[in-house]
Amino acid sequence: MSLPTPTLQTARLRLRPFEATDADAIYALQSNARILRYWDSPPWKERARADRFLATCKQLEQDGSGARLAIERAADGAFIGWCALNQWMPDYRSAKIGYCFDEAAWGQGFATEAAAALLQWAFETLDLNRVQAETDTRNLASARVLEKLGFQREGTLREDCIVEGDVSSTWVYGLLRRDWKPPA
């Protein structure tokens, strides 16, 4: 079963399916070591990774396992990041959410705004009961975003990730449909 990637609009953002023309922007984002310092994989070193990322976006849609959306500012159309709903399991009515933003977009509430739009789509359109998120325990900004959205910290995966010799732990968060409060 396919899962068509939606286009979602918020007050300041447009979330849309990725296009081939996004390859340079996604490569710039995913090759930045500062942006990926809390990521579960090292920064990209070759541009071909962007093409594979875009192909995976199409594959997620075709096999119905998730949706990745490019995020652009509504005011000027500038690409500022992406968000995703992965591991969609319709039988269990659950999925995982994730996001990544350019440094210039940090601290402006864009992550909360984009994730809220994606969650609203997930709960209302896909009829999910649970959405899970994970973040590096050192990424306090991401933890704050999740908590603002109503996620509850459910546990810690101790030393579950080693990227280029750097050992890190992960917080696991969950948000249940009954606890979701759509943005006003």
Q: In the predicted model, is pLDDT for residue 97 greater than 80?
A: yes
Domain coordinates in residue numbering, the chain: 8-129
Q: Alpha-carbon distance 29 to 83, whole Å?
A: 13
**Which tokens in the block code for residue 18?**
């990725």
What is the rounded average pLDDT of the residues 73-96? 96
* pTM of the shown model: 0.94
Protein fold of 8-129: Aminopeptidase (3.40.630)
Compute the distance between CA of residue 174 and CA of residue 59 in angstroms, rounded to an integer: 26
Q: Report the candidate in 165, 110, 161, 105 with the shortest Cα–Cα distance to residue 135.
A: 161
Given a cut of 80, whether residue 183 has pLDDT beyond it is no
| pLDDT (average), residues 22-47 | 95
Query: How far apart, in Å, are the Cα atoms of 170 and each of 68, 107, 111, 176?
Result: 22, 22, 19, 20
Helix (H) or strand (E) holding 176: strand 166-176
SS3 41: coil
The pLDDT value recorded for residue 182 is 84
Once rounded to an integer, what is the mean pLDDT over residues 46-68?
94
Residue 167 host element (H or E): strand 166-176
What is the per-residue pLDDT across 119-134, written as a single tens digit (0 to 9) for each? Answer: 999 999 999 999 999 9
